[in-house]
Amino acid sequence: MIHTSINALIGLQLRLSGFIPNAKLLSTSIIIGMVLPDVDLILDFFISLFLNSNFLNEPYVSNAIFHSLFMIPFLSLLILIYLEYKNKSNINIIIGISIGMALHVMIDIMTLNSVGIFYPLFDLNSNFNLKNYLNIQIPLTTSKILYAFDFFFFRLYTSRIIELIIKNKIDKFEIIKKLTLWMKIQLYIFLLFLLLIYFDVDEAIFSNLFGLLYTVSFVIMIYMTYKTRKIIN
């Protein structure tokens, strides 16, 4: 199941609850780190377009590349090189993204997702999945509903960002206007997918439409988090 937006909400709530210290860019980096592993899903979507497959039921990357624990030091090294190149020294970015990605993997495991935590030491078919040990099967319709709810929580995350802007009395009318519009769009997308589930539309249509709208929502959420980084931190 996908819960990218819930991870973002958890990261934001950790900041608002005071669990994350008020350090430069730390909170924003943790939030971005908590959603970054789901780039795997976007990779699956684009691969499925070439293979003409249903990436929701038959994932190719299968939560392995960006969900791997080895990706954390690799990305940290890339960020460090970039910061050195730009003559910037903010270790909080590396710490935050690392913590966020580790939390994401832990949440995925606890919520019965298949995770390739040791990829590439093991192949894509050797993911760790608690469902295999608990003998739990989730019905297809239930999975689709959970997919749809990711857009609902994208909307909720946007709502929380708007509340932060208003609470801090920051003059960001244009941003609030755009975010409010995006909230409405997310609600329409959520309702659209509920209708698609109700009318039992073709699996390929559901999968491709979800992949497209999810990718757009994912990118906008990352951009929105970055643009409001000063408010969040």
Residue pair 2/28 in contact (Cβ under 8 Å)? The answer is no
The whole-chain average pLDDT of the chain stands at 90
CA 153/CA 45 separation, integer angstroms: 20
pLDDT in tens, 78-103: 999 998 888 887 899 999 999 999 99
Q: What average pLDDT does the segment 48-76 reach?
A: 91
Q: What angle do CA 139, 145, 150 make, to 5 degrees?
A: 130
Rounding to the nearest 10 degrees, give the CA dihedral for residues 232, 90, 11, 169.
0
Which residue range(s) make up the domain with 71? Answer: 4-232
Statement: residue 215 has pLDDT above 60: yes
Statement: residue 152 has pLDDT above 90: yes
- Identify the band that residue 24 occupies on the pLDDT scale cut at 50, 70 and 90: confident
pLDDT at 170: 67
Statement: residue 123 has pLDDT above 80: no
pLDDT at 2: 62
CA 196/CA 199 separation, integer angstroms: 5
Residue pair 101/33 in contact (Cβ under 8 Å)? The answer is yes
Number of domains in the chain: 1
Helix axes 140-167, 173-198, angle to 10 degrees: 170
Residue pair 60/124 in contact (Cβ under 8 Å)? The answer is yes
- Which amino acid belongs to residue 29? S
Statement: residue 176 has pLDDT above 80: yes
